[in-house]
């Protein structure tokens, strides 16, 4: 029996107003393991009415939660972080089983998310207002912070725990309450986080979990006046739809959307070291990462050596069921994602690209969505791969010769989430940092995300920032108090 087959099939409920509950219709949705295509669990599949109940519970709970001190709220968040660390092995196995990423990456996701809970537990204590100097003698001015209100939090499947932690932790720290909607295919690991929150003492109603129809749940988030903010992570297309409709009620929005990150290597960098780092960065979670490097611009003087090492390293990666020891690359998340990858590679090849390794489903596996890590060169500038967000284990390598030209090429996209630069020249690093249109720029750093630094995109990659102090401010309103003193 394979490790994945051993995973017990179970049924999980939604969590509304402090109670685990079924969908009112009794409907359930199956959760599939992408490595084996087996059903590993069923979850309650609700809709609009369950969401309405969850929002009402969150609204009621907020009246007392917002009046507790930041220090008391921090205790719940800190205890949640501790429980997630204690349960990291179980949570990581659940995450791998539903999403496909190797166990080591799943552990990394749980621990990073625990750090996010702990960091916001502390940052909530720093929701400072200001005392502003007065221009008239009899007046005093100050600002205080106020929680935005009930938050609807919608997340995707690629980091189902991390991307909800970036919403739940700052919202609760700020005194808001939350209704979460996970991606339909990956609810299980977030349910595990909810178990930690409940055991950590989260009062009833402050966090709620609804699973079900995306359109019904988001319709209720958008139309229910009790929801004051929607925090969405997902595709740019859905982000735009939410933004259009949120305008009707002027709901606050945080939007974390797609990306198409350039990875730029200058001639003073070591091509072998950087090629190895590039392969790790590119194929992490099969490239299904919003900040995944997806266009590799390598200076023409070192492009040949960089490409040789990248191909060797990509070929050496061990593919398999993420639950099995030593596996470095799991399956892609779903068949649709794999088919889309095949289409992008075929389009690039039909326009003259050389497929140096990979380019097809890995036929060693009878089941599962395994795609070979792929490296391409000689790609035409009109290939879809260079313009559509690939979200795939594909590494297209291009060459360049001048700094200004590569900045223009890197910026030639509607996206502006992440960018990577490899150089040992401080002047080049600064010029690139200032010239690139991206919210997150890793300079000799292929993995820049950390709870204390802002994360988010420019252009069509989103609105606002998560993490860091900005990530807390996203859940706070500023209120200005003007006081006229008695004579």
- Contact set with ligand NAP (CB under 6 A): 154-159, 163, 181, 183-184, 214-215, 218, 233-235, 238, 241-242, 256-259, 290, 389, 391, 417, 457, 462
Q: How far is the CB of 259 from ligand NAP (least distance, A)?
A: 5
C-beta of 94 vs 254, nearer to ligand NAP: 254
Structure tokens at 105: 């990456």
Q: Find, among 447, 445, 452, 443, the residue nearest to 472 by Cα.
A: 452
Active-site option among 123, 196, 290, 437: 290
Alpha helices per DSSP H over 175-213: 188-199
Neighbours of 5 (CB within 10 A): 11
Q: How far is the CB of 163 from ligand NAP (least distance, A)?
A: 6
C-beta of 307 vs 413, nearer to ligand NAP: 413
C-beta of 189 vs 233, nearer to ligand NAP: 233
Q: How far is the CB of 363 from ligand NAP (least distance, A)?
A: 26
CB 118 within 8 A of CB 81: yes
Q: How far is the CB of 307 from ligand NAP (least distance, A)?
A: 26
Structure tokens at 220: 């209720």
Q: How far is the CB of 16 from ligand NAP (least distance, A)?
A: 17
C-beta of 65 vs 157, nearer to ligand NAP: 157
Structure tokens at 375: 């490296």
CB 429 within 8 A of CB 421: yes
C-beta of 277 vs 290, nearer to ligand NAP: 290
Burial state string for 112-123 with b = 16 or more CB within 10 A and e = fewer than 16 = bbbbbbbbbbeb
Q: Find, among 392, 2, 41, the residue nearest to 189 by Cα.
A: 41
C-beta of 152 vs 175, nearer to ligand NAP: 152
Q: How far is the CB of 449 from ligand NAP (least distance, A)?
A: 9
DSSP conformational letter for 460: T
CB 259 within 8 A of CB 389: yes
Neighbours of 71 (CB within 10 A): 10
Q: How far is the CB of 241 from ligand NAP (least distance, A)?
A: 5
CB 397 within 8 A of CB 298: yes
C-beta of 181 vs 282, nearer to ligand NAP: 181
How many whole angstroms separate alpha carbon 136 and alpha carbon 121? 39
C-beta of 187 vs 205, nearer to ligand NAP: 187
How many whole angstroms separate alpha carbon 149 and alpha carbon 168? 13
Tokens 């790790």, residue?
Answer: 280
Contacts of 280 (CB under 8 A, 6+ apart): 446
Active-site option among 38, 98, 256, 328: 256
Q: How far is the CB of 463 from ligand NAP (least distance, A)?
A: 10
- The number of residues in the chain equals 487
Is 256 designated active site?
A: yes
Contacts of 342 (CB under 8 A, 6+ apart): 360, 361, 371
Q: How far is the CB of 299 from ligand NAP (least distance, A)?
A: 28
How many whole angstroms separate alpha carbon 377 and alpha carbon 354? 5
Contacts of 7 (CB under 8 A, 6+ apart): 33, 40, 93, 97
Q: Find, among 257, 181, 184, 191, the residue nearest to 221 by Cα.
A: 181
DSSP E strand stretches across 266-405: 293-299, 354-357, 374-377, 394-400
C-beta of 2 vs 235, nearer to ligand NAP: 235
Residue number of the CB atom closest to ligand NAP: 234
Just list the catalytic residues.
Answer: 256, 290
């Amino acid at each position: 029996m394979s490790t994945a087959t051993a995973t017990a099939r179970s049924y999980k409920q939604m969590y509304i107003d402090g109670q685990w509950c079924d969908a009112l219709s009794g409907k359930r949705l199956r959760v599939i393991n992408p490595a084996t295509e087996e059903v590993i669990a069923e979850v309650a599949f609700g809709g609009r009415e369950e969401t309405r109940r969850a929002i009402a519970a969150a609204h009621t709970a907020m009246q007392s939660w917002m009046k507790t001190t930041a220090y008391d709220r921090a205790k719940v968040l800190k205890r949640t972080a501790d429980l997630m660390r204690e349960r990291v092995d179980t949570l990581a196995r659940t995450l791998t089983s539903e999403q496909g990423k190797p166990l080591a990456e799943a552990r990394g996701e749980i621990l990073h998310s625990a750090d996010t809970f702990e960091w916001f537990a502390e940052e909530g204590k720093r929701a400072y207002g200001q005392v502003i100097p007065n221009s008239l003698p009899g007046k005093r001015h100050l600002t205080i912070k106020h929680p935005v209100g009930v938050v609807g939090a919608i997340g995707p499947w690629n980091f189902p725990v991390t991307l909800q932690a970036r919403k739940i932790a700052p919202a609760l720290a700020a005194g808001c309450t939350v209704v979460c909607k996970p991606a339909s295919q990956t609810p299980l690991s977030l349910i595990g986080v909810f178990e930690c929150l409940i055991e950590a003492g989260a009062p009833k109603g402050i966090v709620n979990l609804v699973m079900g129809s995306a359109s019904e749940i988001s319709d209720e988030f958008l139309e229910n006046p009790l929801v004051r903010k929607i925090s969405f992570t997902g595709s740019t297309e859905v982000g735009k739809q939410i933004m259009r409709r949120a305008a009707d009620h002027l709901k606050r929005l945080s939007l974390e959307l797609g990306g198409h990150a350039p990875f730029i290597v200058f001639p003073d960098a070591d091509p072998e070291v950087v090629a190895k780092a590039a392969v790790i960065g590119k194929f992490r979670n099969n490239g299904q990462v919003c900040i995944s490097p997806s266009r590799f611009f390598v200076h023409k003087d070192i492009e040949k050596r960089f490409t040789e090492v990248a191909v060797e390293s990509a070929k050496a990666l061990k593919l398999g069921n993420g639950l099995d020891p030593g596996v470095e690359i799991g399956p892609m998340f779903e068949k649709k994602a794999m088919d889309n990858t095949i289409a992008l590679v075929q389009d690039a090849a039909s326009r003259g690209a050389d497929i140096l390794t990979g380019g097809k489903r890995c036929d060693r596996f009878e089941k599962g969505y395994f795609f070979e890590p792929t490296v391409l060169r000689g790609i035409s500038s009109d290939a879809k791969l260079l313009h559509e967000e690939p979200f795939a284990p594909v590494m297209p390598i291009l060459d360049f010769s001048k700094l200004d030209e590569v900045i223009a090429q890197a910026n030639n996209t509607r996206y502006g989430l992440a960018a990577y630069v490899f150089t040992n020249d401080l002047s080049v690093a600064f010029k690139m940092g200032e010239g690139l249109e991206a919210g997150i720029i890793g300079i000799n750093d292929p993995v820049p995300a950390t709870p204390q630094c802002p994360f988010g995109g420019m252009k069509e990659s989103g609105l606002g920032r998560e993490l860091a102090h900005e990530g807390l401010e996203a859940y706070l309103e500023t209120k200005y108090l003007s006081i006229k003193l008695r004579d």
